[in-house]
Every structure is written in structure tokens, then in C-alpha cells.
Structure 1
């Protein structure tokens, strides 16, 4: 069986050219290699993503904005932030413009933990991307980030009301 490519060419269908298969295989492999790297962070991968989002920003986000950025339900985010705060990795404070809103900030302890976890993840990612040269690995990251941003923008990301 064949299907039309976006450019109009016809391509034979095969498992190794199927986008869904490729995403599933890469996602599973990444989950395996990354899980050990994030065990030192409360909330595992979710906690890691929260720390990354906080470390990269200038203006401290609100809890709700942070939940949307990392595609987490706001209730799940509250429990996750409670855990991260209990480990002194983040802190929350009232927003000076609206005291009903809580801003989330990464602490120095959180940055140090993130640096250690990031070093471990870089090594794990290197093993996963070992068959790619530096330029191909960089291009893959760039393209995946664009697709992820489009998916989030187009509401293809998980429903924020789901747990």
C-alpha cells in the first residue's frame, strides 16, 4: 500500500517510515534512559520540566501560567509545587501586581539540583542520539521543538483539565 507525500510523491508504507511508530520508539527509549536521570527530582520528569521552565525564564510565572507552559493540570501542578517547595527547590510568593496570584521561583538549591540532573540527562541523550552526528542531533532537537510548540499552540497538547 502507498500514500501520497505532502509534495505529491507516492511513498510505500512501511513501519520504519511511519511517524507514529518513530515517535513511539523514540519516546519509549527516551523515557528509559531519562528515568534514572530524574529520580533525584521530586515528581521525576514533571518536576524536572518545571525546574527547566523556571530556570529559563526572566519573569517568575504564575502557577497557572507554569502549568500551561509544561502542559500539566493546575491541580497536579499545585501538588508538584508543594513537593518541590518542601525540598527547597522552588519557592512561591504573591505577585506584586495581584496578590491573589502566586509566582513560582527556582531557588539556588533548585538550580544546583537541575545542573546535576541536566549533566546526567545530557549523557543519557548522547547514548540515545549516538547514531547521529552533532549537526543531525541539533537539527532533530530544533525540528522536534517546533513540532512540540505547534502542538501546544494548536491545543494538541494534553487537555489541561485532565489529571
Structure 2
């Protein structure tokens, strides 16, 4: 049963799991800072150590959805899922898409990070001395939603890697999330 949520973020399985994830992310972020050459602006030109930790941090942020109890769903995606007799999308994980959700080539539905992973990663890297509590606060702003591929193309036109107000950006792109 979920017991942790934020008004602009997902419902997490538990505070303990979220705290453990934040501790791992803190260690990775500290190593990222340790190996970064401030004179080099492009990630691809940084040291192999930096690139390793940068990728590890990106992966940790991308997979934070593992700790979400349920997901948001767009009106259009749920309408189509109902027509396809799939049921409530909010309970499906990304790994269910090709089998249980009847989308073997991932051409119908898209599992969208409402606040882009790159934005979350960059917020963590911007912390001078990242504390677990600060990372937890950032992670609590993350959330994912099942949307249609056509909706994903709309949001990516303007807001692929950065969304100042993630929920408003979705709304401005014509994507209405169910409560």
C-alpha cells in the first residue's frame, strides 16, 4: 500500500525505499562531481570515470518508476485501453507493455516521465554537496504517465528535455491526465 506522495509527483511504495534509492544516487552524484573536469562542457569529452558515473546517475533516475505504486494516465490512453479491454493503465509497468498491454512493438502507448529524466539528473548534479534529504525532495517530484505515442510526439516538440512546470507543459500540449 502506498504511503508517500507529493502533490506534484508520484505515489511511492514507501519512504524507506525512496530513502535507500536517494542514498545510492547521492554516492553516484558525489563521484560524478569528483571526476568532472570543469573546463570541459561536453559530457562526451569528459573522463571515462565521469561518463560512467553520469550514465549510472541517468539510469538510476530513469528507473525511479520501479518505486512508484501506480502511474498517471492520459484520458486518450485510458480510453483506448478500455476499448482494447486492457483495464486500468495506472497499474501497468513499462515491462508489461509488449505482452499484457497488447503493444508488442511499443507503437501505441508510451511510458512518459512527466518531469524529464535529464532535468531530474541535472537538478541532482546542480547540488554542490548533495544531501540525501535534498535528493529525496527532487525524486518526489518525479512521476510517469501512460500516454499515446501521438501525445508523446506533441510534448517532445517543445519540451523534450526540460519542462519548467511539467504538468502544465503536458496540459499546454493537449495531454489531459486523469486524476
Of Structure 1 and Structure 2, the greater helix share is in 1
| TM-score w.r.t. length of structure 2 | 0.29
| TM-score w.r.t. length of structure 1 | 0.31
| Larger Cα-atom Rg | 1
Of Structure 1 and Structure 2, the greater strand share is in 1
